[in-house]
Amino acid sequence: MPAQLLSQTEQENRWQSRLSCTVGTQVEVRYEFLKGEPVIADVVDLHKNGCGLSLPTPLETGASVLLTGLHASAAGRRLAGRIVWCRLNSSRGYRAGVSFFQPLAMEEAPAGQAEEPVEDHYETLEISPSASEETVHYMFRLLEHRYHPQNPRHADAEKLALAQKAYAAIGNAASRAVYDQQRAAAAAKLARQSLASDSDRAALSATEKSKRWDLLALLYDKRIQSPSKPGLTLTEVEAAVGLLKDDVDFAFWYLVESGLAIPDHGHNRYSISVKGVDYFEQRLDEMRAAELRGSF
């Protein structure tokens, strides 16, 4: 059944089967029976029945391997699987697909204690953080009078409580100094999170580039192996690399819009174009040349 024809319940079940493991998590890969040195790899895709890895050295296709580090709540647990494919990646590393011998069970990582946000007491009192102590007193008295229960036009118990809480925090120099430190720390943390978001976007971009390369390689191999039927359906892509339709929508959109792939929407197939073949072979030659230069 094509991926886009799956019922909503089936799609949700498949997505819920993913572990609480984020893209970029490092795992240790060892061959079965622990022969040879372990290889440290980054997880680029993770599904119930398999995962995609990015690693510095190639793995033997068809070999059985043991993975350590996929489970968020059991870092030392090993998972067994088989290397389905492994190929040179566009970044001079390697990408590999692993099929697990047993489907993974959903394991939730322990939830961390959520931090309460720092309230902006200056905003509550409608003043600037640089306001003088006299201004703080004046605005609190004004708001206290405005929201007091005896004021029939503007009485508001909730806003009055907020004003009283703000005044308790910044109404005197000592407590205001403590609050200002907390407020500055919260602002700095928010700035760091913004930078982390940029880092996450960079990682996502690298992952998408790897997906496009992998899909183009699949289409290239399919064109050579089956010239009369060079297209791949989304179901065949999922079976080959363990990616669902939602995983490859952006990648296929890019390949089609750039002219590297040709869609056959009537049969839900994609095939590589002449431009795609030229691009793939050129990049493959460049990567092999770079690999040879790096070996000397």
Considering the domain architecture, whether residues 237 and 172 belong to the same structural domain is answered as no
Domain edge (last residue) among 71, 100, 129: 100
Q: Which residues partner with 262 through β-bridges?
A: 271
The answer to whether position 200 is within a domain reads: no
Considering the domain architecture, whether residues 170 and 240 belong to the same structural domain is answered as no
The answer to whether position 107 is within a domain reads: no
Which string of b and e fits 205-229 if b means at least 16 CB within 10 Å? ebbeebbbbbbbbbbbbbbeeeeee
Q: In tens digits, what is the pLDDT along the chain, a chain of 296 residues?
A: 333 333 444 444 443 334 444 555 788 888 865 566 788 888 887 777 788 888 888 888 888 888 887 654 444 567 788 888 888 876 668 888 888 877 766 543 333 344 556 789 999 999 998 889 999 999 999 999 999 998 888 889 999 999 999 999 999 998 999 898 888 888 877 766 655 556 556 666 667 787 888 889 889 999 999 888 888 887 787 767 666 666 778 888 899 999 999 988 777 789 999 999 999 999 888 888 877 776 54
Backbone dihedral region of 229: left (phi > 0), alpha (psi from -120 to 50 degrees) or beta? beta
pLDDT single digits (tens) 235-257: 787 767 666 666 778 888 899 99
Asked whether the beta carbons of 82 and 99 are under 8 A apart, the reply is yes
Q: How far, rounded to the nearest angstrom, does the alpha carbon of residue 69 sit from its chain's CA centroid?
A: 17
The pLDDT value given to residue 202: 63
The answer to whether position 41 is within a domain reads: yes
CA distance 72 to 54: 19
Considering the domain architecture, whether residues 45 and 95 belong to the same structural domain is answered as yes
CA distance 68 to 79: 7
The answer to whether position 218 is within a domain reads: yes
CATH number at residue 22: 2.40.10.220
CATH number at residue 138: 1.10.287.110
Domain edge (last residue) among 48, 65, 100: 100
The model carries a pTM of: 0.42
Considering the domain architecture, whether residues 231 and 276 belong to the same structural domain is answered as yes
The pLDDT value given to residue 109: 34
Instruction: Record the tokens describing residue 152, joined without a space.
Output: 């029939």
CATH number at residue 267: 1.10.10
The answer to whether position 207 is within a domain reads: no
Q: Which domain holds residue 86?
A: 16-100
The answer to whether position 196 is within a domain reads: no
The answer to whether position 62 is within a domain reads: yes
Give the DSSP per-residue string, the chain.
--GGGS-HHHHHHHHHTS-S--TT-EEEEEEGGG-S--EEEEEEEEETTEEEEEESS---TT-EEEEES--TT-TT-EEEEEEEEEEE-TTSSEEEEEEESSPPPP-PPPPPPPPPPPP-HHHHTT--TT--HHHHHHHHHHHHHHH-TT-TTT--HHHHHHHHHHHHHHSSHHHHHHHHHHHHHHHHHHHHHHHHHHHHHHHHHHHHHHHHHHHHHHHHHHHHH-TTS--EEHHHHHHHH---HHHHHHHHHHHHHTTSEEEETTTTEEEE-HHHHHHHHHHHHHHHHHHHHHT-
Considering the domain architecture, whether residues 75 and 147 belong to the same structural domain is answered as no
The answer to whether position 190 is within a domain reads: no
Total of domains in the chain: 3
Domain edge (last residue) among 184, 202, 233: 184
Considering the domain architecture, whether residues 62 and 127 belong to the same structural domain is answered as no
Considering the domain architecture, whether residues 81 and 129 belong to the same structural domain is answered as no
The pLDDT value given to residue 57: 87
Backbone angles phi and psi of 279, in degrees to 5: -65, -45
Considering the domain architecture, whether residues 125 and 81 belong to the same structural domain is answered as no
